[in-house]
Chain A
Amino acid sequence: EPEVTQTPSHQVTQMGQEVILRCVPISNHLYFYWYRQILGQKVEFLVSFYNNEISEKSEIFDDQFSVERPDGSNFTLKIRSTKLEDSAMYFCASGTGYTGELFFGEGSRLTVL
């Protein structure tokens, strides 16, 4: 069964460093999303991406964040200068736009020290 894959599964970084989280969505999906979940809290929307551009972003998604689809298969989230409060599980998700079902990757746990 096709699945969304994310790398790395866990990354530890120093405050102020840049981090790139990678995702390979399901191949025929058109909509891509990044969500984050601070430990024990709700799943928060960061950004959605469709037709090679951002379709919507939340207030959390400020200038330190960016997304790219560099090669037609990968979908990356870059955090330019990490802060302690960026420590969270980051989920990539993709969907077809037909049923609206959202398929999640297993998440990338980011720990900022």
Chain B
Amino acid sequence: AQKITQTQPGMFVQEKEAVTLDCTYDTSDQSYGLFWYKQPSSGEMIFLIYQGSYDEQNATEGRYSLNFQKARKSANLVISASQLGDSAMYFCAIRTHNFNKFYFGSGTKLNVKP
């Protein structure tokens, strides 16, 4: 079975500061994928970043980076230089090895203050 835990229901960050959103996971799969999605108030799910379980380097996509610590089963999202438009709900997700299922965490609501 798979499980994703996001322990921060809400966070505030000052504009231009960096912020880390926590995500821990539990899986019995040897091969899996970890994802972060952004959901603004408009409701759509926007893919941000992906980390494969066998990837040795942390994934980066622009201002987003994924701090992958496999032994600790954590996949934290780091957003550098926060912008007002980053205010949204952020979901961490894990994909099973056979692509049949993605499990989502409960989300973290990020508010960026001017």
Contacts and interface: CB of A to CB of B under 8 A. Distances in A.
A45 B45 contact: no
Contact of B105 (A35, A42, A106): A42
A89 B44 CA distance: 10
Residue among B93, B101, B107 with the highest chain A CB neighbour number at 10 A: B101
A45 B102 contact: yes
Interface string B79-114: 000000000000101010011111111110000000
What is the interface of chain A mostly: helix, strand, loop, or mixed? strand
Give chain A's interface residue range (CB within 8 Å of chain B): 20 to 34
B105 A102 contact: no
Interface of A: 31, 33, 35, 41-45, 48, 50, 55-56, 89, 91, 93, 95, 97, 99-104, 106-107, 109
